[in-house]
């Protein structure tokens, strides 16, 4: 299917449409000519969104770092993804709070 000039699988059409409704400026600066390149980047974006729907405590430090790198890469292709950056920042903060709370509890148990 064609959604917003991007070729996506029928099963992805709803999610891609949702992205463009909620965040209409997401792909305004995304200009690859090749439909294959566009599709590949859209698939990467959908996988990133899926990752960011996981609970904060389920991320390892490596996963968070890789996710941030993927977000930067997608942004450099022309996607405007401030809304995903905010979500990733919240995950970082939640994970840090959880780690800090665990560390405090560990220290209290040793005293």
pLDDT for the residue 106: 72
Name the residue ranges covered by the structural domains of the chain.
2-110
pLDDT, tens digit, 9 for 90 and up, residues 18-41: 998 999 999 888 888 888 888 899
Residues above pLDDT 70, as percent of the chain = 97
Residues with Cβ < 8 Å from 59, sequence gap 6 or more? 67, 91, 95
Tell me what the mean pLDDT of segment 40-56 comes to: 92
Q: For residue 3, how many other CB atoms are within 10 A of its CB? A: 16
Q: What are the Cα distances from residue 85, in Å, to 20, 68, 69, 75?
A: 17, 8, 11, 10
pLDDT, tens digit, 9 for 90 and up, residues 94-104: 888 877 677 77
CA angle 80/52/93 to nearest 5° reads 95
pLDDT for the residue 111: 63
């Amino acid at each position: 299917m064609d959604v917003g000039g991007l070729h996506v699988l029928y099963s992805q059409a709803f999610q891609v449409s949702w992205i463009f409704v909620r965040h209409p400026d997401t792909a305004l600066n995304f200009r690859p000519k090749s439909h294959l390149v566009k599709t590949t980047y859209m698939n990467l974006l959908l996988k990133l969104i899926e990752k960011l729907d996981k609970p904060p405590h389920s991320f390892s430090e490596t996963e968070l770092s890789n996710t941030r790198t993927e977000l930067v890469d997608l942004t450099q292709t022309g996607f405007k993804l401030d809304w995903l950056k905010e979500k990733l920042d919240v995950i970082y903060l939640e994970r840090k709070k959880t780690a800090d709370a665990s560390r405090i509890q560990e220290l209290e148990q040793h005293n």
